[in-house]
Amino acid sequence: MAWPAHAALGIVLRTRGELVAARRELVAAAESLRVSGSPSELLIVDHELACLAVREVGDHPSRDLRHMIENQARRLWQLRLQRVAMLRQARHREEQDQARRDAEAASLHDALTGLGNRRRFDQLMTELDSGHLPAPVVLLFIDADRFKSVNDTYSHGAGDAVLREIAAILRANCRADDIPIRYAGDEFVVFLNTDLDGARHVAERIRAAIGAGAHDDIAPGLRVSVSVGIAAHRDGMPAHQLLSTADANLYHAKRNGRDQIAA
């Protein structure tokens, strides 16, 4: 940028008493800023030009002009400070709003698996009862078979790894409109936006993927399977009835030998 050099030279020349040359440099700085400068930079050069005018005209004749320029400069500076304060307040409010949104999102997710948590489940059940969850809705109720033995035999760390792996498989088999939830412990539910036949296919993919997975990286010899209960929501059905139907089908799958789906 050329304007700082012109302005600096103009100030030096003014100090030396070379007022004509000083004006030439300061005017050059001002012209440069009018093309590509900011208002605050132009204000700096205008101030130096006003100081030069005082030297050219004399202190007494220019006193009123100087006072006017100084008052204007103070008002402009106060205006700038007010705008900076307003911008800071707006940014602070935006950061607070984002922090609130992040905290709310975090409160709806399970820390271990990254899926929705029980609070998110309750929220979706309320939406279902109020008619705000897009139809059709089919609920999968998924339970890891004999999960207690995984913890007892291989450790709770291995059990946590299994739950994370199940969660990853659920995410991989869900579409954008489907919502997987860690319901409690080793139990999961999935809200599917599909019909009963579509839900059966999704449930079978999930069951097969979990059963076919190699879990030796978690613990040598570890085998994992799940049972799945399926229930389709009907018009007028309360959300709690949808859950109890899926839960009943889940236990039917377990009584029939586990590692299967029931609808």
Q: Which of 143, 186, 247, 259 is catalytic?
A: 186
Phi, psi of 87 (to 5 degrees): -65, -40
Contact 50, 23 (CB under 8 A): no
Residue length, the chain? 263
Contact 143, 226 (CB under 8 A): yes
Half-sphere exposure of 255 (CA within 13 A, CB side): 8
Residues 226 and 250: their CA atoms lie apart, in Å, by 10
Determine the 3-state secondary structure of 234 from DSSP: coil
Buried b (16+ CB within 10 A) or exposed e, 142-151: bbbbebeebe
Residues 262 and 207: their CA atoms lie apart, in Å, by 12
Residue 145 is a catalytic residue: no
Q: Write out the catalytic residue numbers.
A: 186
